[in-house]
Structure 1
């Protein structure tokens, strides 16, 4: 378990952090929120690079900070592997030497991944003799991640590691982060303001705004709450579903995914049948009908029950739809609510275009 409670103010009228959350370990806890909300301040305090005025940090039963008892473990003894937005590699050293620096920082006898394993997992064997200046931004971040892993940390702290990369480089690095997540099962505290990174990596989500935690919990639970403007106000907000790839239909260019509320047909996937996938169904891509529609191009027409109607943007409403054991959100106009006479408990049909799951659509992260 990671237990964090921190309070800090920068000057009498400066920014104030007053944040607390608990998240399970191992797994990835993503701290998500707008720029300037205190995400990075929280992370560097956990790392010991900022001494908060008061607070407590406990990881799996080990106290790293407890200002009430004046316990402050220095940063070099906290066993935190830190990856910043800029890779911070030693420019005069080769990739291999940068990586081996991480190994030298590992405590004697500490268990953890070996050099060859990390190099293979991150796909950086061909880079070992280069220097950082000869690497792309994505390659530098993979090397920085490798160096952090080789220090054999108790927790990996990542401060917006993809924020400085363009879209192709971000798409290059994300699969490697997912590999690390699955292979090593370390506790990871990951800071970002990009929703696609949340979708691919988060087990537990912490929403922050203005220095405070607005909500914390499993990603799928928070993604379907209609009382969290940090998510519902976004045009790319919507429900995150755990899915299993059931089959492929190459002739039609479609794959079928199973989830707790039925099946979804999506553009043909490359993964093998049986692969577990996580999919975001954006609220703006879900329409509703009060009778079963016929003769539509829409592939996904699913029976649902309207659980609640909440506010969204001006002149819009957010519908919470139950499909078996799953929840979808639908963003509709206030006029549609009135015209269709929508009310909680009403049986509906949820309509989702297969094209809504195209890679180009899922890569969007703008608010």
Structure 2
């Protein structure tokens, strides 16, 4: 396990940073929060750029900060790279010279510069002054320079916030490829839940200088649905179904159940008083830490459930890795009390209601489909008309176009 232990305090005008947390940075850990919640201050404390922080920071058993022991490791000796919202490149240097700067200052020499240039597609820009580049190109250079430094830890502070949607997609794919290829631990800070949906394995939520929630990405997003911090949505990991033909502009997908994470951690999951741990089998087609599961649950549908997504919404990255992170807005899911028939809506799943939250005229209904929560935003009128109740069996419906992904 790659561990970062924090016990950090830092006073700001509008909040006080107060963090006591252990981060598992085996994957990409996202930090989510609105502006002024303390996200950037936390990263500055970790990198050593914030010198007013007190307490203790231990990275991989190495103490970077200990106020009690009067220990403060200088930023340049922490072997931590920091990518900011603005690229912070040297404006008087070319792209090549900015990359060479990292090469000259790195401690190890394992990542060839030609490999990074190919990965980032910077070859045509090497002789250009960075001031002549677009915002997306500058962030590519900043990321390439950070990776070439061969850091023990990479901090990404709102790296995409100034970019348009197309550049965001390209940079997200680049960050994910870099992590998969070089296994560099990453802390990714953003106020965009969509970005974290695509690349983070774990996520923490910050508010007023403190961490309010932390855990696996899908689980935290599901918990946030009942708050005012995000737009209500269902978070999914999907795998492109092997040996399945695309037809009529749709691609069949297999959705990964949250049961997979719990089984991997050795937990017993109980639903409708049925314990399912003992009859879970993991298939061979494993993508990362997610597993496609078959669960015999007394007639309920297979967890290896097939969904359909518009082929045009599945990009090169997903096709290459046969996996993608997706989300479905709660407003795009409808409910039926009887199994639908002869419907143009291709995605239909059977589940049972586990929560109904009514706020004035709107209701958020949570439906468990073999242990995975789906969220439907409907009117309070519909709740009353359909006589919905917790424990009731219902069918959820959503169009193929409702399954969305930012990373293409």
Establish whether TM, by shorter chain, passes 0.5: yes
Change (3 A) 1:254 1:273: farther
Deviation by residue 1:73-108 (Cα, 9 ceiling, x = unmatched): 11111111111111111111111110010111212x
Q: Which runs of 5+ in 2 are unaligned?
A: 258-302
- 1:211 aligns with 209
Q: CA deviation at 1:314?
A: 4.1
Q: How far apart, in 2, do the equivalents of 1:106 and 1:228 lie?
A: 45
Q: CA deviation at 1:277?
A: 1.5
- 2:237 aligns with 242
Note if 1:263 corresponds to 2:313: no
Q: CA deviation at 1:51?
A: 2.4
Q: CA deviation at 1:52?
A: 4.0
Within the candidate set 126, 129, 145, 1:128 is matched to 126
> Contact 2:7–2:55 (CA<8 Å) still a contact in 1?
yes
- 1:26 aligns with 26
Deviation by residue 1:3-55 (Cα, 9 ceiling, x = unmatched): 223221135xx432123332212211111111111111111111111124432
- 2:357 aligns with 310
Within the candidate set 304, 312, 323, 2:369 is matched to 323
Deviation by residue 1:97-146 (Cα, 9 ceiling, x = unmatched): 10010111212xx2542211111111111111111022111111010111
Range moving further from structure 2, 222-231 or 31-40: 222-231
Q: How far apart, in 2, do the equivalents of 1:125 and 1:182 lie?
A: 22
Change (3 A) 1:71 1:274: closer
- 1:9 aligns with 11
- 2:111 aligns with 113
Q: How far apart, in 1, do the equivalents of 2:306 and 2:206 lie?
A: 33
> Contact 1:245–1:273 (CA<8 Å) still a contact in 2?
no
Note if 1:51 corresponds to 2:51: yes
3-state SS of 2:344 partner: coil
> Contact 1:309–1:344 (CA<8 Å) still a contact in 2?
yes
Q: How far apart, in 2, do the equivalents of 1:299 and 1:53 lie?
A: 54
3-state SS of 2:161 partner: coil
Q: How far apart, in 2, do the equivalents of 1:335 and 1:31 lie?
A: 37
3-state SS of 1:229 partner: coil
Map 1:194-205 onto structure 2 (within 5 A): 194-205=192-203
> Contact 1:91–1:133 (CA<8 Å) still a contact in 2?
yes
Q: CA deviation at 1:182?
A: 1.4
3-state SS of 2:63 partner: strand
Q: Which runs of 5+ in 1 are unaligned?
A: none
> Contact 1:304–1:322 (CA<8 Å) still a contact in 2?
yes
TM-score, length-normalised on structure 1?
Answer: 0.90
- 1:86 aligns with 86
3-state SS of 2:397 partner: strand
Change (3 A) 1:203 1:293: same
Within the candidate set 328, 333, 347, 1:281 is matched to 328
TM-score, length-normalised on structure 2?
Answer: 0.81
Q: How far apart, in 1, do the equivalents of 2:403 and 2:187 lie?
A: 28
Deviation by residue 1:299-344 (Cα, 9 ceiling, x = unmatched): 1010011112235x54322222211142212222222222222222
Change (3 A) 1:59 1:315: farther
Q: CA RMSD in A?
A: 2.1
Q: CA deviation at 1:166?
A: 2.2
Q: CA deviation at 1:286?
A: 1.5
- 2:379 aligns with 333
Change (3 A) 1:331 1:67: farther
- 1:70 aligns with 70
Q: CA deviation at 1:227?
A: 6.7
Q: CA deviation at 1:347?
A: 0.7
Q: How far apart, in 1, do the equivalents of 2:320 and 2:99 lie?
A: 36
Aligned length: 353
Q: How far apart, in 1, do the equivalents of 2:211 and 2:360 lie?
A: 25
Q: How far apart, in 1, do the equivalents of 2:346 and 2:394 lie?
A: 16
Note if 1:299 corresponds to 2:343: no
Q: How far apart, in 2, do the equivalents of 1:252 and 1:142 lie?
A: 37
Q: CA deviation at 1:64?
A: 1.5
Q: How far apart, in 1, do the equivalents of 2:47 and 2:224 lie?
A: 33
> Contact 2:246–2:252 (CA<8 Å) still a contact in 1?
no
- 1:354 aligns with 400
> Contact 1:23–1:217 (CA<8 Å) still a contact in 2?
no
Range moving further from structure 2, 314-323 or 255-264: 314-323
